A and B are shown apart, each in its own frame.
Chain A
Amino acid sequence: MERHFDEELTALKNQILEMGAITERMVSDVLKALMERDGSILKSIEENENTVNRMQMEIDECCLKLIALHQPTANDLRLLMGVSKINAELERVGDHALNISKLVTAIIEHEQLKPFIDLPKMVEIARGMFKESLRAFVELDVDKATSILLRDDQVDELRNKIVDELIQFMCGDSSTVQVALRIILLANNLEKIADHATNIAEVVIFVAQGKDIRHHAEPLT
């Protein structure tokens, strides 16, 4: 039986997916700007970030209303909780994209220290994780969500490698500090984006199966 409530849930789901698409584009743009050393790509980042902030408030308000007026239960309740949590994750991803955008602007003003090796790998994995976390949510695909969780360690390892290497650079040549430090900050922001993708994947598993696997509360199956 189709319920009026389903229409409202679908509308809410579409809203969060639209917010996801905007943040995904922001992440993609800032990383493209970094890789191609092209600041012109960053023009719309700030405006997009404002849009994401506004959407976060609208989605929260919508969740609050649906909970108050429909007293949802079971999978409906889990979906609303999930949307509310993903809403917060996406807003943070927007913040990190904006941070990265500012760092990229500063980084590309200087000459490249050396060809990037680990950073493109990290970019690829983190961007992929984020993109797939949103797909996993659309399809409520637990397998896809689980595969995202398993990739988080790779991102952490690459970030550590990048930091170690740049510390070496800075120790050897103090003139590299300005750029190296910003790349470290950028890698940290990228690592946070991967963390948010992981959080979204955990939400997907909760919405789909009612299992809370955060902090290893329940084992991955």
Chain B
Amino acid sequence: MTHKIDIKNLNLYYDEFHALKSVNMVVGEKNIIALIGPSGCGKSTLLRTINRMNDLIEGVRITGEVFLDGNNIYDPGMDLYELRKRVGMVFQRPNPFAKSVSENVAFGLRVAQFKNKKKIAEIVERSLRAAGLWDELKDKLNRPALDLPLYQQQRLCIARLLAVEPEVILMDEPCSALDPIATMKIEEMMVELKRNYNIIIVTHNMQQAARVSDLCGYMLLGEMIEFNKTSEIFTNPRDKRTQDYITGRFG
């Protein structure tokens, strides 16, 4: 059976530093997966291996395989533009472009030489709706995106991803810059998006991992210590190291 994402024996080195150690992880269809663990454990590094963002960092060496729908994304012939369209990413700080709301959402389409204005308008609306922003911004489509409050900027970045119809959305602490209400809105949106997308989120907020994810991986010193259903991880973890971390005894 082919899984959406299948990570096999993945090792990553930053020069001499062994940052990911023989990581294995399987992601089925339409799930939210949370990666948790202390700072520096490798969770963001692991996230970035899934759309090869680590390729941009000097001194990185990778062994092992990451399959997306059965194809190893580290095969030499992999089209990185296509890969990053299929596997989009949301960062800690929202990073909208200095353009209008609608131009931000349409950005990926323009890069792809999409010219049909009516179709673009439709996709902008659909993407903003999916990100839960349409009602709030439908009358402000020409407003500069940078004027929006942070939580709207973050959801706008998500709408920008959705416009190019990714299959997997990677989120690297997407709520760390947001207040609790804005965090709740992003979480609600994630649960809605999970109907159509696979989401992998790195979070330091364990309650967030517990609230939104279906599966959860606990990482420590570059190793995947435990990967299991979130309900199991938070009620009956198999590994004492996981238990010590989620109960706050770690350290």
Residue numbers of A with Cβ under 8 A of B are 1, 3, 5, 71-78, 209-210
Contact = CB atoms under 8 A, between A and B. Distances in A.
Contacts of B251: 1
A103 B117 CA distance: 88
B236 A3 contact: no
Q: How large is the interface on B (under 10, 10 to 19, 20 to 34, 35 or more residues)?
A: 10 to 19
Interface stretch (B13-21, B39-47, B131-139, B241-249): B241-249
**Which of A3, A73, A76, A78 gathers the greatest number of chain B CB atoms within 10 Å?**
A73
Contacts, number: 33
B236 A72 contact: no
B247 A74 contact: yes
A81 to B, nearest CB: 9
A71 B243 contact: no
A210 B235 CA distance: 7
> Which of B242, B246, B251 neighbours the largest number of chain A CB atoms within 10 Å of its CB?
B246
Given A1-B251, A3-B248, A210-B235, A74 B207 contact: no
Contacts of B67: none
Interface of B: 206-207, 210, 234-237, 242-243, 246-251
Given A1-B249, A1-B250, A3-B248, A78 B207 contact: no
Contacts of B247: 72-76
Which one of A74, A77, A78 has the greatest number of beta carbons of chain B within 10 Å? A74
A76 B234 CA distance: 10
B207 A71 contact: yes
Given A1-B251, A74-B242, A76-B247, 11 more contacts: A1-B248, A1-B249, A3-B249, A5-B248, A73-B210, A73-B247, A75-B243, A75-B247, A77-B235, A209-B236, A210-B236
Closest 8 CB pairs of A and B: A210-B236, A73-B234, A74-B243, A73-B246, A1-B251, A76-B247, A74-B247, A74-B237
B246 to A, nearest CB: 5
